[in-house]
Structure 1
Amino acid sequence: MQVLLNQLVYFSFLQSLFLLFVYLFSPKSRQNINGYLIFFIIILTVGLSGRIAYLSEVVEDNYRWVVFSEFSTLMFGPTIYLFTKSSLYGERFNIRNLYHYLPALLYNVLVVLFFILPSDDELRYRAASGEQMRIILLFVGFGLAFNITYWLRSVGLFLKFKRSIQSELSYVVRSRFFANFLIAIGCCLLCWTIMYTMSLLGFQILNRVAWQTVWISIALIILFIAFYALRSPELFKITGLSTSKKYSNSKLSQSDLEQLELKLKELMEQKKPYLNARLLKAELAEMLEVSSPEVARLLNERIGMNFFEYVNYYRVREFVELAKSEKYKNLTLFGLAQEAGFNSKTTFNKSFKSLMGESPSDYFKNQTS
């Protein structure tokens, strides 16, 4: 187990150096990559360097260099949170965000005071008396609670984003890859929690091998994400999304809303903007010559649908009409759906069943029977 772990440490360290080298000497990569992801890699490189120095025996078997790796522990949570926030909402780095790292700074100072500065004799005395384990459990517990808190905040941001995009976008955002990233980090934190709980109960599971396994797992996940961010940066970018302000300040009267509803219906039936698979609410508002919040108010108060549901309602209607046309008789059901403006087979099936009460295939079977 220890041999495998050591090999993973070397692999992660070399991979982090490679990615930093690519980002440093490739202007295109620097433009595409999320800055917090680069910071992730720097954190990993610093943390892994201590472990590498210890394994290579250049520091004469001084385990303090492994403790040096713990400087990265409280950096993970805030960076995951800020990476999530910037990826989903397009927020750029702001120096005020550094306050998220203040607990990590204090934590690292305490690591130096308790684990690096004391003499070997004092450390051996603590270990023999059991005091060292109590201190370690205190540090690990704080780090665990801190990182879980920021992970939960990241998950909250992601779920909020998933709920909000249906009021802004007419298409499905490919967020599964990002969701898997948060799930993977959550699994690592769960393993960390189980080991910590077992240690509190007296089971000696929180040993060096077990703890380093969790730490390296997180490192490999982040390096994997960094690799894909370099290879496919579009996975982490949501272009054109702008959240609307609340429409409470809208000055449109009920009569204005009635006229706007008629204008919207005419626009949808004559110009068919829903055929644009990546139609935004802001674009529809521009066509209507009103603000995006006023479109939201119209949809909510007069029509009873959000933007996503409303546009897909017209796409389903278009799909049914296309299916009756001889021109498109050679297309598959999803091929017809794409012609009608859908960009996702899952969304098409859900929208169709929600409106028509049955699946597309069942619908056409019943039409021909």
Structure 2
Amino acid sequence: MLSDWRVIYMGGVFISLFLFVILISKPKKSTADKILSAWFFFAIIHQALMGWYASNKMSDMPALIGWELPFPFLHGPFLYLYILFLTGQQRHGWRNLFHFIPSVLAVVILVPVLGSMSVQEKMGMAGPSGFEPLFRGMVGSIIVSGIVYVLLSLRLLRRHRRNVAVQFSNTDKITLNWLRYLIGGMGAIWIVVIISPSAQSLYIVVALFIFFIGYFGIRQVGIFSHQLPAHAVYLPAVVQLPEKTPEPAVVEDMADIASKKVKYEKSGLTDTEAARIHAALISLMEQQHCYKDSGLTLGDLAKPLDVHPAILSQVINSKEGKSFYDYINVLRVEAFKQLLQQPENQQYTLLALAFECGFNSKTSFNRNFKKITQLSPSSYVKEMNISIQEGE
């Protein structure tokens, strides 16, 4: 009968293979999907080599000993590039291939080294090898690489969180949790490598990580399944306004300069134009109730107004004193309060009315309602003495 860790080992390989097949079968794969597919391909090979080591089967195929070393250099870059492209933060195109230089260098170094070593030296049966310092240095470099890429990935996640807050009206179903799981899982693996670098403990934590991301990846919409984007989303850099080219200075008297309040310096947008866009925005909301679209983004709202998303964001910030996210959710809360006042709606539950107003989850509804009104939805209903259907 297989021991417990062997069961986990075999399960990890099969789950990785299963997820890889799902990914390569996914229609219309994005660049992020292709990166994740390549990552799983190399992860399967790496898992097989680690499991082979953990099973003490090195003597069966001694030619493979040592060739597991280049693979750990791949996981950090794949994690980083996957997050980079999934969150739309890519900038450098083909230069992203530079991230794989350490892995290629490891292969170049190992070709002559492993070729000159005997089987006994590779298996540690001939005493200390002259290449021992090289291998220790390579393992140290692997650990440094892993830690650095986890930190770089965390920085990407912070940027993505800011971008989501700027452009999305509902954030509960965005890929933040999926990215947290990936980064957290990779961080846990490197902690195990540092604390307990044995082949068996390392393989068990890697296999558990594969189970974990397989479960949450399948639950996360769009990761292992195909879903066309239904809403306009812009890259973070597109939302940032470019600096305006300075115009020739106009000579004015000191009184005029002191009395003028300069607004929208970076975008070049005048206060008059901002007021026009704001009025058009209010009219659009009153007529079309765009906030009821639970997937509404800044880009969606900018299109019918015929303005750049960055300009619209700045107008909302200036005229409403709120971010796009807060502005839309205030409108949803106000619409919810209006629905509560209508007797014909008292047959519905609070959550049903919340969904009607554009919220997409109970958590998001409760959080935003309390943030805006300082009361929970149920407390507000009691305070207003409104009779409403119980349940969700």
Give the direction of change, closer, same or farther, for the CA distance of 1:353–1:106 in structure 2 (3 Å limit).
Answer: same
Greater alpha carbon shift after TM alignment, 311-320 vs 223-232: 223-232
Give the direction of change, closer, same or farther, for the CA distance of 1:124–1:76 in structure 2 (3 Å limit).
Answer: closer
Q: Which residue of 1 aligns with 2:80?
A: 81
Report the alpha carbon displacement of residue 72 of structure 1 after superposing the two structures with TM.
1.4
Aligned residues of 1:77 and 1:147 also touching (Cα < 8 A): yes
Q: Which residue of 1 aligns with 2:308?
A: 291
Identical residues among aligned pairs (%): 22
Aligned residues of 2:231 and 2:296 also touching (Cα < 8 A): no
Q: 1:335 aligns with which of 331, 339, 352?
A: 352
Give the direction of change, closer, same or farther, for the CA distance of 1:122–1:238 in structure 2 (3 Å limit).
Answer: farther
Q: Map of 1:12-27 to 2, 5 A cutoff? A: 12-21=12-21, 26=25
Once the two structures are superposed, what CA deviation does each residue of 1:56-97 show, in whole Å capped at 9, x if it has no partner?
Answer: 999853455253233311110000111112222285994432
Partners of 1:7 and 1:207 in 2: CA distance: 18
2:146 pairs with 1:147: yes
Partners of 1:226 and 1:69 in 2: CA distance: 26
TM-score calculated relative to the size of structure 1: 0.82
In structure 2, what residue type is equivalent to 1:213?
I
Give the direction of change, closer, same or farther, for the CA distance of 1:288–1:254 in structure 2 (3 Å limit).
Answer: same
Q: Which runs of 5+ in 2 are unaligned?
A: 245-266, 387-392
Once the two structures are superposed, what CA deviation does each residue of 1:99-125 show, in whole Å capped at 9, x if it has no partner?
Answer: 110011112333444456412454577
Indicate the SS of the match to 1:251. Answer: coil
Q: Which residue of 2 aligns with 1:349?
A: 366
2:239 pairs with 1:245: yes
Greater alpha carbon shift after TM alignment, 222-231 vs 352-361: 222-231
Q: Which residue of 1 aligns with 2:11?
A: 11
2:228 pairs with 1:210: no
Q: Which runs of 5+ in 1 are unaligned?
A: 196-205
Aligned residues of 2:292 and 2:356 also touching (Cα < 8 A): yes
Aligned residues of 1:54 and 1:62 also touching (Cα < 8 A): no
2:70 pairs with 1:71: yes
Partners of 1:221 and 1:236 in 2: CA distance: 25
Aligned residues of 2:217 and 2:224 also touching (Cα < 8 A): no
Report the alpha carbon displacement of residue 367 of structure 1 after superposing the two structures with TM.
1.9
Give the direction of change, closer, same or farther, for the CA distance of 1:232–1:168 in structure 2 (3 Å limit).
Answer: same
Q: Which residue of 2 aligns with 1:181?
A: 182
CA RMSD of aligned residues (A): 3.6
Partners of 1:63 and 1:111 in 2: CA distance: 14
Partners of 1:304 and 1:285 in 2: CA distance: 18
Partners of 2:230 and 2:68 in 1: CA distance: 34
Report the alpha carbon displacement of residue 320 of structure 1 after superposing the two structures with TM.
0.4
Aligned residues of 1:86 and 1:92 also touching (Cα < 8 A): no
Give the direction of change, closer, same or farther, for the CA distance of 1:299–1:144 in structure 2 (3 Å limit).
Answer: same
Partners of 1:193 and 1:55 in 2: CA distance: 17
Partners of 1:187 and 1:270 in 2: CA distance: 51
In structure 2, what residue type is equivalent to 1:39?
A
Report the alpha carbon displacement of residue 13 of structure 1 after superposing the two structures with TM.
3.4
Q: Map of 1:349-368 to 2, 5 A cutoff? A: 349-368=366-385
Give the direction of change, closer, same or farther, for the CA distance of 1:148–1:218 in structure 2 (3 Å limit).
Answer: farther
Aligned residues of 2:13 and 2:207 also touching (Cα < 8 A): no
In structure 2, what residue type is equivalent to 1:190?
I
Once the two structures are superposed, what CA deviation does each residue of 1:209-242 show, in whole Å capped at 9, x if it has no partner?
Answer: 3344344445555665676689852699795321
Aligned residues of 1:13 and 1:48 also touching (Cα < 8 A): yes
Indicate the SS of the match to 2:239. Answer: coil
Partners of 2:107 and 2:217 in 1: CA distance: 25
Q: Map of 1:23-102 to 2, 5 A cutoff? A: 26=25, 28=27, 34-50=33-49, 60-89=59-88, 94-102=93-101
Give the direction of change, closer, same or farther, for the CA distance of 1:41–1:236 in structure 2 (3 Å limit).
Answer: farther
